[in-house]
Structure formats: structure tokens, C-alpha cells
Amino acid sequence: MARLIAVSIDCRNEEVRRMFEDMVSRRLHYLIAKGQGTGAVDMLLLELDEFRPQHTFDRIRQLLSAAPGLEIFLTASRMDPQLLLEAFRVGVKEFLPQPLTRQDVEPALVRFEERFAGKTSGLEMHAGKVIAVLGVRGGVGASTVATNLAVSVQQARHHEPVALIDLDVHGGDLGLFLDLPASQGLTHLTKDISRLDETILRSTLVRHPSGLQFLASGCEAYDDFTFEPGSMMRVMSLLRSIHRHVFIDCGHVLNHSVREVLDSADQVILVTTLSLPMIRRTKRLLEILFAAHYPAAKIALVVNRYQKDQKDLVTETETLLGFPMAGLIPNDYESASEAINHGKPLTIMASKSPIAQWYLQGVGQLIGDHAAGAALSKGQAKGRSFLGRCFSSIGMEVGSKPSVVSR
């Protein structure tokens, strides 16, 4: 299942509440909402007022009128056939007799999941693409890569919304790369994730002059903060629904929130450098991702701070890893540092530099969206490889790449 399912419970019978919570919490991708509000939930367990059943039915009509996608499970200690028929007529999807039993609840949840999957599959066809950027270790430049990829796509697609998310709870400095004010960001959104909706999300996003929408982590460098399980799935689902591309800076720590993002992302970009310790860590990280059954096509390996004399080292590294490089970002420490210090992306601060041209020309190929990259100048050879096109302007030639080792 692609996204989190939020569930609310409005039930006076505490035994029924606890039983339902226990059965739902044992299933993957479910989140129990706090309190009895429906918020932006997908399912509501509602107990019938057996003394005033029409009052319950009127409430169901109001709830479904306000949220047509909501599914209501009705529970009661007893119900005659006529009331049961009326319950289904007003929109109830499942009836659970009390006391609750697994024999009744489990099949109802399976039927719900089938209906839910049918509804969300159509939406996913039009959903935006999520690209997770992960550094093999701190200091390799993952934040620089995430920022400049996102801005490059936004510059190429002026009229399509692009988002950049800071998920690095150990840093939270991404706003400085764009000279944007600090905001509550993810920490604010995930305080009660069950109530999160599009309106709340939009109010938290900060707009960059390029048009890029930014969502801060809300964490300081030494905060000891963790997101509740399932939080990032909910946030990503909403971000997908309103953006063409969503770039997420995952930092370099594989905590549970980062794993949620990597699992649900359309593409994972690993950022490394060609030093021996980084190559060793890259190999280990690839082993972890392959052990988690990530397809090779989902992973793109990018070398940051590449220098001209490292061509042979690239070939040796690919052989060692059994995995090809998807991109070699030229080393330009001076331009990169100046851009960060001025709070401007490279493609704006130093648009003519080789490193900025790499982002502008190569991003579409890197993320598998050919329309995202800037249009190449006329007269460029059509038969060249991706890396050949990216680096032709700075006199680099890149040889062929070995195939991925089968797993």
C-alpha cells in the first residue's frame, strides 16, 4: 500500500475501542487519530446511538457530505434488519456487531483495503514524483545536490509546482541554502498527523523566488527529535498530490523516517565522493538497499566533487561496486561555497559555471524526466551518452559503464 491510512474512533464502549485499536495497530500503514475528531482521516469507527439511531444516521450524512472519501464502520450491540438496511443506505460501508471479534473485523479491514487501493491507484497515476537524496556520510554535499536539483527542475518547469523538503533532523540547515526564514516545518505538521490536510500543508510551505516550495525540518542541530512512525508517509502523500516533483534531503542517517521515505520514493539518489572511506561506505549502503529489495532502477549513484584526473578511479569504483555512476558532478568548491554563503542556488548564483551547467543540463536524465532538464543547444551530437552530453562543455569524456551485478 502506497500511503498511510488514518483511522478515527468515536466509540463510548472502551472495550470495543481497545479491541479495534489493537487489531488495526497490528496492520501495516495504519495510524490511529488522536481524540474523536475525523480530521483528514480515511476511516471512522462510529458507535450507533441505539436510543437515537436517526441522530447517528444524520451525523453520517453530514460527515460523508463534508468528506465523500471517508469510509464509516458502524458498530452496535444489536441492530434490527431495518436499521441495518438504513445504515447502508446512508453510506455505511461495514457493520461490526459487539462484542468485536477478529472473525468480523479482519475480513472487514481486508475489504476496506481493497476499496482503498482501488481509489488511490487512480490518484497515483497523476501523483507527483518523489526523489529522495541520501548522502553516504555527512559532508559529501547531499544538501547541495538536493537543493540544486530541485531548483533546476523548477527553472525548467516554470508553471509546475516543485517542492524541496528538509528531513535532516540532525542539521535542518537547508533553508540557509535558499536564504529562506526558519519555520516550524515538519515538526509542526507531525504533532497530530491525523489532522494534517492540504490546507495545513500549504500554509507551512515557504515559497522561494524561483517558485520552489520549501518545507523545513523545524529541527535545530542538536535537537533530539523523532517523527512518529507513518508520519512521513502521510506528508509525502499530500505533497505528491499538489506537486509535480518532490525532492527530499534525507541527510545521511538511516532512521525510521528516512526509511519510510526511501521505501515510498520513486527514486533514491545516493551522493558520494571518490575517497576510499566514501567508496567503502557506498558499497555497504548499496548492500543494505539491495537486501531491502530495492530495484537497481530505483537507485542513482552520483559522485560529487569529481575531478578530471579521477576518470580511471571512476571505472575502478564501478567495478568494485558492481553498479554504474549516474552522474559526476564537477568539483567547484569556490562556486559551491559562495552560493551557500549567499543563500542562492548555483544555477542562479553562478549559472555559467560548469557545475551549474551540470545541474541545468543533466537533471532531467538523472531523475528520469527528460522534459525537466534545460533544453540543450542545437547542434549537440545525438549519439552521445548522458555523461558525455553533461561534460562536453568542460572538455571531459566519459567511457562506457559496466552493467549492474545481478543479485
146-189 per-position pLDDT tens digit = 999 999 999 888 778 999 999 987 767 888 999 998 777 888 88
190-228 per-position pLDDT tens digit = 877 767 778 888 889 999 999 999 999 887 666 667 787
- C-alpha 288/C-alpha 290 separation (Å) is 6
User: Over the Cα atoms of the chain, what is R_g?
Assistant: 25
Please, what CATH class does the domain formed by 5-124 belong to?
A: alpha beta
Q: C-alpha distances in angstroms, 37 versus 10, 47, 121?
A: 8, 14, 27
Q: Which residues contact 82 (CB under 8 A, 6 or more apart)?
A: none
Of 207, 227, 203, nearest in space to 217 by CA? 227
pLDDT of residue 369: 62
- C-alpha 215/C-alpha 120 separation (Å) is 24
pLDDT of residue 377: 33
Furthest CA-CA distance within the chain: 82
What pTM did the predictor assign? 0.69
Q: Which residues contact 164 (CB under 8 A, 6 or more apart)?
A: 146, 147, 150, 151, 174, 178, 212, 213, 214, 215, 247, 248, 249
Query: For residue 215, what is its C-alpha cell?
Result: 518545507
Judge contact between 135 and 171, C-beta under 8 A.
no
Q: C-alpha distances in angstroms, 208 versus 57, 163, 180, 371?
A: 47, 10, 7, 22
Q: C-alpha distances in angstroms, 153 versus 212, 270, 308, 324?
A: 9, 18, 26, 23
Of 70, 110, 104, nearest in space to 90 by CA? 70
Of 371, 369, 366, nearest in space to 385 by CA? 366
Q: Give 222-228 contacts, CB < 8 A, sequence gap 24+.
A: 223/169, 223/172, 225/169, 225/187, 226/169, 226/255, 226/256, 226/257, 227/169, 227/186, 227/190, 227/256, 227/257, 228/31, 228/190, 228/193
**Which CATH architecture does the domain made up of 130-394 adopt?**
3-Layer(aba) Sandwich (3.40)
pLDDT of residue 267: 94
Q: Give 86-89 contacts, CB < 8 A, sequence gap 24+.
A: 86/53, 86/57, 87/48, 87/57, 87/60
Q: Where are the domains of the chain?
A: 5-124, 130-394
Low-confidence residues in the chain, pLDDT < 70: 1-3, 34-40, 120-127, 171, 194, 220-224, 369-407
- C-alpha 302/C-alpha 183 separation (Å) is 30
The reply to whether domains 5-124 and 130-394 share a CATH topology is yes
Pairing state between β 162-166 and 213-215: parallel
Return the SS3 of 247: strand
